[in-house]
Amino acid sequence: MKRALPPILISLVLAGAALLTSKKGSPSRESALPVLRVVQQHQKQADRALTKILPLTPDEERRVGEAIDARMHATPAGGLIMELGRQLAASPNVRRFPRRYEFRVLPEAAMVNAFAIPGGFVYITGGLQRRFPAM
């Protein structure tokens, strides 16, 4: 009987291959992409499995998000971010939290990033806001 390799082992092998094929010992972004894709795929599968095992109602999910949001030290988004967010939240494709999404900025965060937490809370970092000042 064949046994499948665990995802961690596959990720380590791919990371090693990326290091060996990269120049000057530091992996390039391109050589690390296969590793990131494998990790991302397994993370999504684990997330989907967890939501089937422990389903939350929208109200429970909102309470979880509110608890996390209270600790984030974010400021409400304004300007273009808020306008785009309102338009997106009003889309007929949004079913989980229609018109209940909240958009925040983490001003101290230097990295260029955006993410969401449960319950309809969407964050952008100060680095992203500084990179695109029109936002």
| Per-residue pLDDT tens digits for 14-71 | 666 666 655 555 555 556 677 777 777 777 787 777 777 878 888 898 999 999 999 9
Same domain for 119 and 97, yes or no, is: yes
Note whether residue 19 is domain-resident: yes
Residue 31's SS3 state is: helix
Structure tokens at 57: 């109602």
**Count of domains observed in the chain:** 2
For the four alpha carbons of 68, 70, 71 and 73, in that order, the dihedral sign comes to positive
Note whether residue 20 is domain-resident: yes
| Cβ proximity of 106 and 123 under 8 Å | yes
- In this prediction the pTM is 0.60
Same domain for 30 and 87, yes or no, is: no
Note whether residue 2 is domain-resident: no
Note whether residue 112 is domain-resident: yes
